[in-house]
Amino acid sequence: MGLLSDPVRRRALARLVLRLNAPLCVLSYVAGIAWFLALVFPPLTQRTYMSENAMGSTMVEEQFAGGDRARAFARDFAAHRKKSGALPVAWLERTMRSVGLEVYTQSFSRKLPFPDETHERYMVSGTNVYGILRAPRAASTESLVLTVPCGSDSTNSQAVGLLLALAAHFRGQIYWAKDIIFLVTEHDLLGTEAWLEAYHDVNVTGMQSSPLQGRAGAIQAAVALELSSDVVTSLDVAVEGLNGQLPNLDLLNLFQTFCQKGACCARFRLQPQDWTSLDGPLQGLQTLLLMVLRQASGRPHGSHGLFLRYRVEALTLRGINSFRQYKYDLVAVGKALEGMFRKLNHLLERLHQSFFLYLLPALSRFVSIGLYMPAAGFLLLVLGLKISSLHEAEVGLEEPGGAGGMVVVFGDPLAPGPISKSLCALQGVGLASLVAPLLISQAMGLALYVLPVLGQHVATQHFPVAEAEAVVLTLLAIYAAGLALPHNTHRVVSTQAPDRGWMALKLVALIYLALQLGCIALTNFSLGFLLATTMVPAAALAKPHGPRTLYAALLVLTSPAATLLGSLFLWRELQEAPLSLAEGWQLFLAALAQGVLEHHTYGALLFPLLSLGLYPCWLLFWNVLFWK
């Protein structure tokens, strides 16, 4: 503490940091990347364990044996769906009532902001069907959900058959203390969102839906089921939800425990075989990167992702048939689900004892928030070092004795006043030299957020493009127009004190970027880390002197759009399905359209975060680079 309280020692430390600023920045950046790469090794990664006492043992006897019945239900469902061309609502109502459930339906409709070319829909209308199994041993105060999403292009008949067979089996048991809701939704996530909004009596996305006629208790947990075949070789689990939310780790541990008990192969992305050799951590790093990319996208990777918004712990199980030697039928999957629901039935309160913020290099290993946050902290330290060096440089420009001068503050001749120094450093810069770039940058970000959707009809009237293409082309046009920003701002800024002008602007931009990345890393570490990895080096190097062409190329390659494009190539490379340049560009355009659509449809925050926050901040550094 003496080093920080003594003014002389504090000034000496400031001079040392200023003198070694570049080596410290490089060391901090390398330390952040190295820390992240080290997360897959056993000293930092831990084995998963059950924290909730009510679910600590798997001593329940699964009795489900309705595999043939599930396959019969699946065949009937597929036949009626093929005949009607839509979700067979009447057949589902009749079948659910026959197994003893209270059956209700909900109709919904949604006009998308522009046509969804991926799923070929614009005006969407459908019907959700759900049945409630009332708890015989308690009042209807709590409930569990088993849901099956049915899209227009998905083959999920086996999952519907298994849901109905489980409902018939659960109906004959007397130990249920929670209501169980069996939900079949139409149009995938749209139907799920409509049902959740109606169940919780809110409307956050503008969905038009009928009110629910039947309700159960407060939802404690939910499981979404997707099966493409009645024979599976493994069960893949998806945990990434809307805006990077994750379920409580105990729910994932419960799934893994019952898969191990039933000898089912449980999978999370890629499953390392041996952690004692080098291949295990390397494959764990590949799995970790896949999770980071999925979580950073902010997309709900399954119907469970929308439940997390309402504080409902949920995950999605997908049956994979990869033609391996060991295969499992619907009975094995049904027993795993039965065991999970029986354990969730024992809960006396919501899942809260385990982690909500974690990374998974494997299904059996995790990295807690206290161990992965230093990676982002080292990257943000680079911005802190540059901010301190710029502050000292500005003060040095203003004071006659250089950076070592002192300012009298509150009568103490030895106290260096940071507030007075900052005010003195900004004297002569002129308010317009900071206000104009900030206003123009934010105006460009606001245009990037608002104009693509609002101006789609104008674009289709004057150009031979569809609505979705018009939105994407408008996005790219506004984004590229920001490259002309320095020429616009230099028409209105003051020409006095040019060095203090660009240094003050870069100081503001660095603080702006550090605040954004810090807040993002706290809520969605994967997104914050990816953006910090790409944007921090270019932000630290941006200045109007030196190899300006090299700095400009670096800024363009680390812009938010380039980061998205590079993430797509990395994602496919990790999946061992590399893309060509043409395929990558087409996937990039589709990702832009889906990002805008998911923001307006489900409330995903990645698009407004990039357009209203990071893109204007990036334009400030572009303006610094071309400062005259």
For the stretch 104-113, pLDDT in tens is 999 999 988 8
pLDDT (0 to 100) of residue 52: 80
Mean pLDDT of 129-133: 95
Tell the residue number behind the tokens 């994967």, with chain if given. 526
Looking at residue 247, what is its pLDDT?
94
**Contacts (Cβ under 8 Å, ≥6 apart) of 216:** 132, 134, 140, 143, 179, 180, 181
Calculate the average pLDDT of the chain. Answer: 84
Per-residue pLDDT band at 2 (split at 50, 70, 90): low
pLDDT digits (tens, 9 = 90+) for 539-595: 999 888 888 889 999 999 999 999 999 999 999 998 888 888 999 999 999 999 999
Q: Which of 144-148, 192-196, 497-501, 617-621 has the lowest mean pLDDT?
A: 497-501
- C-beta of residue 267 within 8 angstroms of C-beta of residue 233: no
- Lowest pLDDT segment from 46-60, 171-185, 600-614: 46-60
Residue 53: predicted pLDDT = 76
Q: Write down the pLDDT at residue 270.
A: 58
Query: Which residues lie below 8 Å from residue 594, measured CB to CB, with a gap of 6+?
Result: 118, 299
pLDDT of 503: 84
Q: What is the pTM of this model?
A: 0.88
- The token duo for 578 is 């590399």
Q: Which residues contact 587 (CB under 8 A, 6 or more apart)?
A: 568, 572, 579
Q: Rounded CA gap, 482 and 234, in Å?
A: 48
Side chain identity, residue 253: N
Per-residue model confidence (pLDDT) at position 403: 39
Q: What is the pLDDT of residue 375?
A: 95
Report, as an integer, the average pLDDT of 385-393: 82
Structure tokens at 161: 């058959």
Q: With residue 148 as reference, give the H or E element that holds it.
A: strand 142-150
Separation CA 541–CA 522 (nearest Å): 25
- Of 243, 255, 376, 367, the C-alpha closest to 317 is 255
119 vs 146: which has the higher pLDDT: 146
* 238-291 residue pLDDT tens: 999 999 999 999 999 998 888 877 656 666 665 545 556 667 788 888 999 999
Which residues lie across from 88 on neighbouring strands? Answer: none
pLDDT in tens, 431-458: 666 888 888 899 999 999 999 988 887 7
- Residue 3's pLDDT band (cuts 50, 70, 90): low
Sheet bearing 358-362, strands edge to edge:
46-47, 365-368, 358-362
Evaluate whether 425 touches 500 at the Cβ level (below 8 Å). yes
Name residue, tokens 């191990």: 260
Cα–Cα distance, 566 to 572 (Å, whole number): 10
Q: Is the pLDDT of residue 355 over 80?
A: yes
Domain ranges (residues) in the chain = 60-268+299-351, 431-626
CA 322 to the chain's CA centroid: 28
Q: Which comes out higher in pLDDT, residue 458 or 376?
A: 376
Instruction: Please tell me the predicted confidence (pLDDT) of residue 274.
Output: 57
- pLDDT over 90 at 134, yes or no: yes
User: Does 405 score more than 70 pLDDT?
Assistant: no
Output the pLDDT for position 294: 94
d(CA 427, CA 449): 35
- Cα separation, 362 vs 45, in Å, equals 10
- pLDDT per residue as tens digits for the range 295-341: 999 999 999 999 999 999 999 998 887 766 567 788 888 988 998 99
DSSP conformation class of 610: I
> If you search the block for the tokens 């330290």, which residue do you land on?
381
Distances (CA, A) of 157 to 94, 273, 344, 549: 17, 32, 26, 57
Tell me the pLDDT tens digit for each residue of 464-509.
Answer: 778 888 899 999 999 998 887 765 555 555 445 556 778 888 999 9
Render 457-515 in DSSP notation, one character per residue: HHHHHHSS--HHHHHHHHHHHHHHHGGGHHHHHTTTS--SSHHHHHHHHHHHHHHHHHH
Given this model, what pLDDT does residue 88 score? 92
Q: What is the pLDDT of residue 583?
A: 92
123 CB burial (10 A radius; 0-12, 13-18, 19+): exposed
Pick the CATH number of 60-268+299-351 from 3.60.40.10, 3.10.150.10, 3.90.1150.10, 3.40.630.10: 3.40.630.10
Q: Give residue 375's Cα distance to chain centre.
A: 18
Closest among 433, 481, 474 to 453, alpha carbons compared: 474
CB 622 within 8 A of CB 548: no
For residue 212, the model assigns a pLDDT of: 93
Q: Please report the pLDDT score of residue 122 as a whole number.
A: 82
In this prediction, what percent of the chain has a pLDDT beyond 70? 86
Q: Residue 453's closest CA among 470, 466, 478, 476? A: 470
Which residues are registered as beta bridge partners of 185?
149
121-133: strand order across its sheet? 208-209, 102-116, 121-133, 179-186, 142-150, 218-227, 313-320, 234-238, 266-267
User: Which pLDDT score is estimated for 427?
Assistant: 47
> From residue 135, how far is each of 239, 340, 345, 391 by CA, in Å?
28, 17, 10, 65
